[in-house]
Every structure is written in structure tokens, then in C-alpha cells.
């Protein structure tokens, strides 16, 4: 018998991997040169005057904190030279393991160059935009945490969008009829109910998990749209909830720039901070988290060791549903105080992208949510600056960023091995 060893297979595998890596390196180099061209032709040549970025608000303790003033055209030319240099370095030798870090820094510089171009000859509140970024990150963060909780246990949760929308609707009605705190708990309960439907069909009847998620999304969208038209339109008193106001944390809220951005927010922002920490600790520092990850990776082995696989999956999906329902309440109880048809606007699907981009880790998905939240806040601020970019393109910004990140920047990303696979106890 011929012994087919790794040595026999490795040369061809290494050849294919090398070819893929070279194509990727060439693509990165072309991308850097494209950034250099856009920066030079648009940002540098199209800028007129200085860009003034406000780093404090009039009501802040350090309101006299100096603004950041940048000569927009000069900064654009400087960035173009930097990007061209990165492209040349990529073609010459590449950046090895530092490639993603270099790309991330380059993209951040490109965005800042874009902001300098947009704000040239005008004033732009940088602290206000980042404060709005953190706020808009909330539903994406909570939706992504729900996805992590489910998928770490092996259940794909496509229904995050429906859970967010259902939480927003229930939160508005209960919050209007009773009070916002009761509305918040009711929103979490609505997410748990939808999660139970997902778990029940996926675990007990082994229905395709993606199909269940799509059905839940369509059902919730149709039901909330119908009830909003038939009930809320005729009873406006059921659609006027009191929103949770901002609260500045003493001492931390007085830190220049970071204080207003991170610690002068409403309940939902602080809740998202806490949940990222708690979920990270539970998943990676407790026996329960070890069992959850074992169920998501190898349920048969976990069952052999005495772990109740089905119960772990039920519990995790329900907990994820509660988190998603609370995230949906942000739209009504943390933002506008009323429910509007399809007001989540696809944030649940962006949350799914954040799960992949964050590699199924709570801290990673929070960082990914910040990227998407920034794109969401940016399109609103650019509309105020009147840059000449059509409003339709501005509204597309969060979704375009989602496509670019998932399709071009994530690279190889492996989720839990048993994700989406039904388990039958023998």
C-alpha cells in the first residue's frame, strides 16, 4: 500500500496557497494605488481652505479645548504619497503578518482624509460624530452579541432582524401604555419568544435554521407593519413612549473628548458595554462557556462527557433572543420614542456581518459594530455638510461598508464547526 503522507501532498498545496497569496498581495497593492489616486484627484485637488474639527462641546467642562485645524489640500497630498508608498511596498515585499493592521490604519487615514475634504472651509464637530457613532452602534452590537450566543452553541440565527424589529414594536407599545422600564423588559421577552420559536423548530424538528430565520423576519415585518397601520395609527397614545435620557458618568464624563463620546450616553450604550464584558467573561472564563463552545464545536463529544447539548442550545438561543429584543427597544425607547414601519432598516443583517467580521468573539463584534456605526453616523453628518454627494449614496453608506468589509477584508474566517448542524441524541 502506498503511504500518502503530508510530504506528498504539501508541495502542490503550497503552490496553490502561494498563488492565492500572490493574487491577494497584488490586489492589496492595486487597492493602495487606487486610494492614492482618489486622495490626490478628489481630496487634494477638490479641497478649499482648512478643515476645522471640534473636539469639545459648549456644555463640556473642557469647552475651551482647542479645535483640530487641518489644511485639507496639503493633508490630501500627504496621504496620497503615503498610500502610493504603501502600494509600492506591497508590490516589493508585502507586509506579512502586519498586512491587516497596515490596511486598517490606511483605511482609517483614508476616512479622515475624506472628512477633511468634506469639511474643508467649514467646521465639523468630531466629538459629536463619534458620540453619534457609539449610539448607533448599540443595536448592531446587541444584535451581534445575540448572534454570538446562538452560533457559539451551534444554532445559526438569521432572525436577528426580526427580533430587533419585534423588540422595537413591543417596547414602544408597552413603554407608552405603562413606562419605559416595563417596555424594556417586554422587548426582551418578545425577543425570547421569537428565539424560542427558532430553537423549538431547529432543535426539536430539525428544520433548516436559515429558512426558519427568514420566515421569522418576514412574519415579524408583516405583523408589525399591519399592527402599526391598524392599531398605532388609530391610537397614537400607544406610540409615544418616553425615551431614556443621556446620563453623564461622574469624572469619566469630564475626560476631554473621550468623556462625551463614551460616558455621556443613555442606558442602552452602557448596557451594551456591560453585555460585551459579561458575555466575554461567561464564554471564555467559565465552565458554562466551555460547555457552550464544546457544543458548538463537537456536540457528540460534549454529549459523551455528560453535557446536555439540546438544553445548552435552547438556553443560549433564548438568551440571545433577550439581548436582541433589548437591542430592538433602542430604536423606540432610546432614540425616537415611537415605532415606525421597518424602522430597524436591516440592522439585524449588519449585525450578522459584525459576527463574521468579529470572528464570533464579543470584543471583536463590538469593534466591528463600531465600524458599521461610524458609517451610519457619517452619512447623517455628511448630509449636514452639503458635500454634493447624492443623498441616496449617503443612505447606502452603512450597507456598502458591510459589503466591502465582509467580501474584501474578512478573509478566511471559520465559525464554530457544528454551526447549523442539527443534533440527534443517540
Q: How many CB atoms lie within 10 A of CB 132?
A: 19
Mean pLDDT within 252-257: 87
pLDDT at position 171, please? 97
Nearest residue to 191 (alpha-carbon basis) of 352, 399, 350, 330: 330
Residue 419 lies in a domain: no
Q: For the domain that residue 150 is a member of, what is the CATH number?
A: 1.10.3470
Residue 191 has pLDDT above 90, yes or no: yes
Residue 262 has pLDDT above 90, yes or no: yes
pLDDT digit string (tens) for 210-238? 999 999 999 999 999 999 999 999 999 99
Residue 418 lies in a domain: no
Residue 426 lies in a domain: no
Residue 174 has pLDDT above 90, yes or no: yes
Helix axes 309-331, 160-177, angle to 10 degrees: 60
pLDDT at position 412, please? 62
Q: What is the mean pLDDT of the chain?
A: 89
Q: How many CB atoms lie within 10 A of CB 368?
A: 28
Residue 75 lies in a domain: yes
Q: Are both 141 and 111 inside the same structural domain?
A: no
User: How does residue 142 score in pLDDT terms, banded at 50, 70 and 90?
Assistant: very high
pLDDT at position 46, please? 87
Out of 79, 96, 120, a domain closes at: 120
Q: Are both 111 and 135 inside the same structural domain?
A: no
pLDDT at position 376, please? 85
User: How does residue 23 score in pLDDT terms, banded at 50, 70 and 90?
Assistant: confident
Residue 382 lies in a domain: yes
Q: Are both 165 and 106 inside the same structural domain?
A: no
Residue numbers of the domain that contains 52: 6-120
Q: Are both 67 and 157 inside the same structural domain?
A: no
Q: Are both 220 and 109 inside the same structural domain?
A: no
Number of folded domains that form the chain: 2
Residue 384 has pLDDT above 80, yes or no: no
Residue 5 has pLDDT above 70, yes or no: no
User: How does residue 93 score in pLDDT terms, banded at 50, 70 and 90?
Assistant: confident
Q: Are both 13 and 137 inside the same structural domain?
A: no
Out of 66, 94, 120, a domain closes at: 120
Residue 138 has pLDDT above 80, yes or no: yes
Q: Are both 398 and 286 inside the same structural domain?
A: yes
Residue 355 has pLDDT above 80, yes or no: yes
Residue 380 lies in a domain: yes
Task: Report whether 198 contacts 253 (CB < 8 A).
Answer: no
How far is the C-alpha of 243 from the C-alpha of 116, rounded, in Å?
34
C-alpha cell at 14: 503550497
pLDDT at position 381, please? 77
Mean pLDDT within 258-265: 92
The percent of residues above 70 in pLDDT, for the chain, comes to 92
Q: Are both 62 and 116 inside the same structural domain?
A: yes
Q: Are both 38 and 185 inside the same structural domain?
A: no
Residue 422 lies in a domain: no
Q: Are both 106 and 134 inside the same structural domain?
A: no
Identify any residues that bridge with 53 across adjacent strands, giving them in sequence order.
Answer: 68, 124
Amino acid at each position: 500500500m502506498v503511504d500518502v503522507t503530508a510530504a506528498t501532498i504539501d508541495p502542490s498545496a503550497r503552490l496553490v496557497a502561494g498563488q492565492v497569496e500572490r493574487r491577494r498581495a497584488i490586489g492589496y497593492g492595486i487597492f493602495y494605488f487606487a486610494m492614492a489616486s482618489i486622495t490626490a484627484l478628489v481630496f487634494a485637488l477638490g479641497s478649499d481652505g482648512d478643515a476645522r474639527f471640534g473636539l469639545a462641546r459648549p456644555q463640556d467642562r473642557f469647552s475651551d479645548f482647542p479645535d483640530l485645524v487641518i489644511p485639507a489640500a496639503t493633508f490630501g497630498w500627504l496621504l496620497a504619497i503615503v498610500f502610493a508608498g504603501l502600494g509600492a511596498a506591497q508590490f516589493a515585499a508585502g507586509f506579512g503578518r502586519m498586512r491587516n493592521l497596515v490596511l486598517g490604519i490606511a483605511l482609517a487615514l483614508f476616512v479622515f482624509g475624506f472628512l477633511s475634504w468634506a469639511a474643508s472651509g467649514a467646521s465639523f464637530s468630531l466629538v459629536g460624530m463619534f458620540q453619534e457613532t457609539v449610539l448607533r452602534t448599540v443595536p448592531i452590537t446587541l444584535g451581534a452579541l445575540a448572534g454570538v450566543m446562538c452560533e457559539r452553541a451551534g444554532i445559526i440565527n438569521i432572525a436577528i432582524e426580526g427580533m430587533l424589529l419585534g423588540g422595537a414594536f413591543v417596547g414602544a407599545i408597552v413603554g407608552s401604555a405603562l413606562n419605559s422600564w416595563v417596555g424594556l423588559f417586554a422587548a426582551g421577552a418578545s425577543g425570547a419568544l421569537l428565539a424560542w420559536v427558532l430553537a423549538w423548530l431547529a432543535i426539536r424538528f430539525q428544520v433548516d435554521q436559515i429558512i426558519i430565520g427568514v420566515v421569522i423576519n418576514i412574519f415579524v415585518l408583516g405583523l408589525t407593519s399591519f399592527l402599526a397601520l391598524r392599531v398605532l395609527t388609530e391610537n397614537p397614545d400607544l406610540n409615544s413612549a418616553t425615551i431614556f435620557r443621556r446620563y453623564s458618568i461622574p469624572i469619566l464624563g469630564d475626560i476631554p473628548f473621550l468623556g462625551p463620546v463614551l460616558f455621556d450616553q443613555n442606558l442602552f450604550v452602557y448596557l451594551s458595554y456591560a453585555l460585551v464584558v459579561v458575555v466575554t467573561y461567561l464564554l471564555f472564563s467559565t465552565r458554562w462557556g466551555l460547555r457552550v463552545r464544546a457544543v458548538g464545536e463537537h456536540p457528540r463529544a460534549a454529549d459523551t462527557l455528560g453535557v446536555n447539548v439540546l438544553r445548552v442550545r435552547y438556553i443560549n438561543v433564548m438568551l440571545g433572543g433577550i439581548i436582541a429584543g433589548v437591542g430592538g427597544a433602542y430604536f423606540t425607547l432610546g432614540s425616537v420614542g415611537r415605532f415606525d414601519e421597518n424602522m430597524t432598516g436591516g440592522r439585524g443583517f449588519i449585525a450578522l456581518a459584525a459576527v463574521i467580521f468579529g470572528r464570533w468573539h464579543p470584543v471583536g463584534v463590538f469593534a466591528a459594530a463600531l465600524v458599521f456605526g461610524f458609517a451610519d453616523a457619517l452619512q447623517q453628518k455628511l448630509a449636514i455638510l452639503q458635500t454634493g454627494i447624492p443623498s441616496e449614496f449617503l443612505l447606502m453608506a452603512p450597507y456598502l461598508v458591510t459589503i466591502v468589509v465582509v467580501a474584501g477584508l474578512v478573509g478566511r474566517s471559520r465559525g464554530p464547526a457544528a454551526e447549523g448542524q442539527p443534533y440527534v441524541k443517540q
